[in-house]
Chains A and B, each alone.
Chain A
């Protein structure tokens, strides 16, 4: 990776631009140059917004020149997963069904980023409608992992993870429904955060599974993630599920160490993680112990039921959320003799296989006569998982697990087996079901020198201790270098 010459983190870029020592325009050109150089190979973006970005950077520089403060993300190049609405700019969800649609409004996170002085460089690739763990399910082609271009970047936010890993943007936003931020962050060797459900507004995030979806940052450093979350987090009246209370600054929280913090090891965690991944997890426990944390054993018995419950709840919600793509009002329409036929041929042509699979699964799970056995039972499991976590968090402040069972895998490795792909998220999914926060921190490398991420979990609004733990792991890695 060619490291930025002007500044190495978003915190440093913003500080430099605000103080006038750096020009937002220069910072942007460095990133655009890297895009020019490598985007053809990586395919992180569905759309690069070079002209808009240059105008935004110029405006930031003009504001500084005029003595105004552009905000805490002044001049920071940011990439947006292409399932976040951008006013007048195509938002595709990497699906043909949204062909030609340009939202008439900005997502709340986009509004907040712009207000904070960030510069949007592009819309990033994803598994269609965020359904997948490799970004191979995009209608516009796969994204490559910048660490090893023969391998997937993970998914579904693979484009956003790759954009940060490749230096195309300083930071990016993704969405995480079952691990779609944390798993690609682990595979690409960057920081990725799934906040507490309701921490960040979903207004303008194209829904996959509404009760699970949450927006969060990809960054190179834990501090950058804290900065970004401080900007995009907090109550939004446009999202009824947004937590109606101000959140404490995470930038402040990470200054604290982990002395006395209780770090939980889940003794009944589902097996199946590769030995190199397990080795890095053990190293993480050691590092935290060395930093003054206490390691405690906890049990989360329902953890292992997370995957199956998720694959009923998420598809059920998706089957409803995606029903609106019917060819009537926007996006793709394939004409047919009557309305019902038009629905059928439009959706057949517009959706990819994985999306269709989940729509069918979810429709079935909600159907009369099957609801209780499938969707209803999955909701009970969801409740059990949350209860089990709550008990664990009485004994531990944070929990540590692998983020992904494996390092980045080659393209097509799981192509014929949807369930093998679903297993990628076995460690991340239970957190979404519980509504809890989780983040992946790069913690060295495993097989073939590929990045390994360690996942830090906490209870509802446990972001401060989660970030403290992540920062301690980051410091330990820095000290080891």
Chain B
């Protein structure tokens, strides 16, 4: 498609979110010559006890309309009072995303909807509390954060009759105001995301951070984390294309699918000579497509103005420092620490998984107890999936097991068996368990004799391996393990077979 139509699209860009070029990434992945540009707006419900502006409980799953009060319902005469804890959690998010915390204000965003009790939402507008940060993906790429601001949630409508659960055409609607006034932080990324996979990584990492700092339980399925995607495509070296905002994305998997679909749709339109219109689109999980929700022309005029019922929010330097001092270590730093300790890359699966489970402290405790940290990492990743951040198995017990392996007293396979017993019992002395099972490592001489026998018994596999088919090794090692009834160390067997081919 001609570059002209793309640049015409950009002239239509309006609103507070104006695309500008992000940092060069070096890993652009082109689709039929088109580059994907994605920015994400993520709403998270804060894990406060009470609502943003009132003392009603902030709790998911209660009976409808039980966590309400005059402020929540927007009754005449009720006034908002800002929740200090919500501000602290917003500041934690800002600090975790490397933002600047600045003096901020609240505005009213005016529009009519039945589950909006005041007919306006109190939200931060031109002076948000957190600005100009970034989130580092596990591979190190930084995604810019434009802002992370406080606002209140709406109630929840359920529409009955009609089609598609929409208000339009429904027979009646029920409204639950329990969610109205729940504190939200909206985290707006810069359009630095280039692939659907990066979008998934961004949301996954953001979720880990939010959980780690106690800001939110960030459950997309419960709606405590919601994600809208701004998607456009362009030819590298030309201005960004017209974006569409995709709503109703309810899982990280759906996010990737929605972005991939939408990118394809826009590319096909461009390639067909059509013009992408700026609009809000609705992701339909069932048909796997996005559909027009409303065009830019139909957008509400929200008539923002400064909320006169609140005063400016200007956290003191002391307050910000106190919040900073109370911050826990973030997932990225924890991965780096574990990577340092184990020599395994920070974005390796074992490290990602163990840090996600919060078991990295435990792995390091095993090392501190004299255990082998690399083996501890693998064991924790493989065998502690059902354990929390503080496994019941004493770190010293797992350390004991890794020492048996290091010394060659038992094989890796035997170690797994012993570990299963230890995990099942919530602890145990690896040496005693191994002895009770009659595990002992084969001495080198016996092992070599056995390997020779295995090669003799499996001439076809041995010949293939010698002719360069490395995958034939699997059959040889498997045969050795079988012959030794699991007592052989797989790594030693492999080494011996390799040595015999060279020899």
Contact = CB atoms under 8 A, between A and B. Distances in A.
Interface string B277-313: 0000000000000000000000001011100111100
A328 B114 CA distance: 6
A326 B119 contact: yes
Contact of A240 (B79, B114, B175): B79
B112 A211 contact: no
A320 B309 contact: no
Given A330-B75, A366-B303, A323 B120 contact: yes
Interface in A201-217: 202-207, 209-211
A103 to B, nearest CB: 7
Contact of A205 (B77, B80, B118): B77
Interface string A307-346: 0000000001101100110101110000000111001000
B119 A211 contact: no
Interface in A133-147: none
Given A210-B309, A241-B309, A84 B118 contact: no
A109 to B, nearest CB: 11
B77 A84 contact: yes
Contact of A203 (B73, B79, B82, B117): B79
A202 B81 contact: no
A317 B309 CA distance: 11
A206 B75 CA distance: 9
B73 A329 contact: yes
A326 B76 CA distance: 12
A241 B120 CA distance: 19
A322 to B, nearest CB: 9
A40 interface: no
A203 B303 contact: no
A238 interface: yes
Contacts of B120: 320, 323
A355 B114 CA distance: 22
A107 interface: yes
Interface residues of B, number: 31
Which residue, B74, B79, B80, B175, has most C-beta atoms of chain A within 10 A? B79
Nearest to A206: B76
Nearest to A239: B79
B309 A324 contact: no
B70 interface: yes
A375 interface: yes
Given A320-B305, A363-B303, A368-B301, A104 B79 contact: no
B76 A367 contact: no
Interface string A130-168: 000000000000000000000000000000000000000
A196 interface: no
B309 A240 contact: yes
16 contacts: A93-B76, A105-B75, A209-B308, A238-B81, A240-B81, A240-B311, A241-B310, A320-B108, A323-B112, A328-B114, A329-B73, A340-B112, A343-B112, A366-B110, A367-B301, A375-B305
The 6 lowest CB-CB distance pairs between A and B, nearest first, are A323-B119, A211-B308, A366-B303, A210-B308, A206-B76, A204-B77
Given A317-B308, A320-B120, A329-B73, 19 more contacts: A85-B77, A91-B76, A98-B76, A103-B76, A107-B77, A204-B77, A240-B311, A241-B310, A316-B305, A320-B110, A320-B119, A320-B303, A320-B305, A324-B118, A339-B173, A366-B110, A366-B303, A367-B303, A368-B303
